Amino acid sequence: MPQGLPRKIKLAFITQALIGSIVITVGIVLTGAIVRQQVVEKRVEREAGAFWEAYERDPSHRPPVSSTMSSYVVIPGVSEPQLPVELQNLRGNGVQRLPDSGKLAFVDRRPQGTLYIVFSAWLADQSVLLTGLVSALLSLITSGVLIWLTYRTSKRLVTPVSWLANQVAHWDPRDPNASAIAPANLPPDAGDEVHKLSRALTGLSQRVGDFIQRERNFTRDASHELRTPLTVIRVATDLMLSDPDNSVRTQRSLTRIQQAGRDMEAVIEAFLILAREADVAPQSEEFEVREIVAAEVERVRPLLGDRPVTVTLHDEGAPRLFAPPHVLRVMVGNLLGNAARFTESGEIEVRLMPDRVVIRDSGIGMSPETLSKAFDPFFRANGEGDGKGMGLSIVRRLGERFGWPVSLASAPGQGTTAVIRFTR
């Protein structure tokens, strides 16, 4: 489950950790810069204030000087030292950066004179930087630990849900077995919500199983019940066909009745196979695909009537298969019937290959919307058609049952191509 809930939670926490780290780092850097500015300004302001207080008591008091600080005081008419060029261009009061040396200068202009303090803020910078790094490191470690603990807790809560989803994903749709998710089999960390979900899924699987079983029983019972009248029809038509006094018209009608009976028997057998699914293996035998397809081609010719449509069969290496032959008969017959029903003129071409049967017609074709719904149960384009009501849905299900997938390609006015592939 590469995109499962635990992975998404993990990615969410990693993203949260990254965003939190960036925000914390940027916040500490900005805070450090502001604190540094405030610390430097307060320090030089105090140095300047202390100097002016001492100057009032002793005019000969020297301006503040240290290893990182030098000062110049300008008293009009009393003390006018030669200022460095970089200080002569300073205007206003407050802390200003000297462009060439990179040092800072504090200018304090008062009525009695002007005090210039030149200093280097590297000590303050180092102090602020060290404090910021330590604060950032502690904040990141604390955030990482909290996020990791939260992730572990969330993962422990989500793991039972992920386990439950994985168990349900491996259910057989035809026979959902809910014993694996019984409360006794749930993970130890499963909470009340997971137990409720387990009970709900168990109930759902039971209802789905009951529904599938009812559908199978109905299809099986209905198919068996239909066999009796079909047998009566077949025997009666056999007896009537043996009467030499029948007219040609009567003989033709009886033949059509027999053919329809055989078609219905094939459909009933197909329904039985779908109802049994994998529970009972269908009766299989080895047969020639060409014989089945050729018989269906001959059966479809009368459906064309007097329409100018030719039906051709090309054998390019038809295989022998081991499967129920009536299943292929139903599939090919349905596809050929659709081709005959929707082709007014042109050609219906059946091509046999070692791994497929291709049925192509020059009929009206289908729009993309119709093509996308062609395999839906009970769907008919524009409500037309007079088929057996089985539709392409059953053809596809039969193909899936025996590993013979069916595909359609069509365009309006360009006909339709149906392909049955023999994948196994």
Q: Single out the residue of 384, 341, 394 nearest to residue 223, CA to CA.
A: 394
Comparing 249-253, 294-298, 352-356, the range with the smallest average pLDDT is 249-253
CB-CB contact of 320 with 289 (8 Å): yes
pLDDT in tens, 217-245: 777 677 677 777 888 888 888 888 888 88
pLDDT tops 80 at residue 201: no
pLDDT in tens, 2-24: 445 666 777 777 777 778 778 87
Residue 215 or residue 105, greater confidence = 105
Distance between CA atoms of 379 and 359, rounded to whole angstroms?
A: 20
Other CB atoms within 10 Å distance of the CB of residue 83: 14
pLDDT tops 50 at residue 383: no
pLDDT bracket for residue 405 (50, 70, 90): very high
How high does pLDDT run on average in the chain? 79
pLDDT in tens, 149-194: 777 777 777 777 777 777 777 776 666 666 767 776 677 666 677 7
Distance between CA atoms of 380 and 392, rounded to whole angstroms?
A: 10
pLDDT bracket for residue 1 (50, 70, 90): very low
Query: Would you list the DSSP string of 326-383?
Result: HHHHHHHHHHHHHHHHT-SSEEEEEEEETTEEEEEE-S----HHHHHHTTSTT--GGG
Residue 303 or residue 378, greater confidence = 303
Distance between CA atoms of 137 and 127, rounded to whole angstroms?
A: 15
pLDDT tops 90 at residue 407: yes
Other CB atoms within 10 Å distance of the CB of residue 56: 10
What is the CATH T-level fold of the domain 285-421, as seen in this structure?
A: Heat Shock Protein 90 (3.30.565)
Mean pLDDT of 344-349: 93
pLDDT at 346: 92
pLDDT bracket for residue 384 (50, 70, 90): very low
Q: Taking the chain, what is the end-to-end CA distance rounded to the nearest angstrom?
A: 29
Helix (H) or strand (E) holding 97: strand 94-97
pLDDT at 404: 92
pTM greater than 0.75? no
What is the CATH T-level fold of the domain 172-280, as seen in this structure?
A: Helix Hairpins (1.10.287)
pLDDT at 382: 52
Amino acid at site 107: V
- The domain spans of the chain are 5-142, 172-280, 285-421
Distance between CA atoms of 77 and 55, rounded to whole angstroms?
A: 16
Residue 340 or residue 265, greater confidence = 340
Distance between CA atoms of 161 and 195, rounded to whole angstroms?
A: 10
CB-CB contact of 92 with 107 (8 Å): yes
Distance of CA 138 to the CA centre of its chain: 40
pLDDT at 380: 62
Distance of CA 220 to the CA centre of its chain: 38
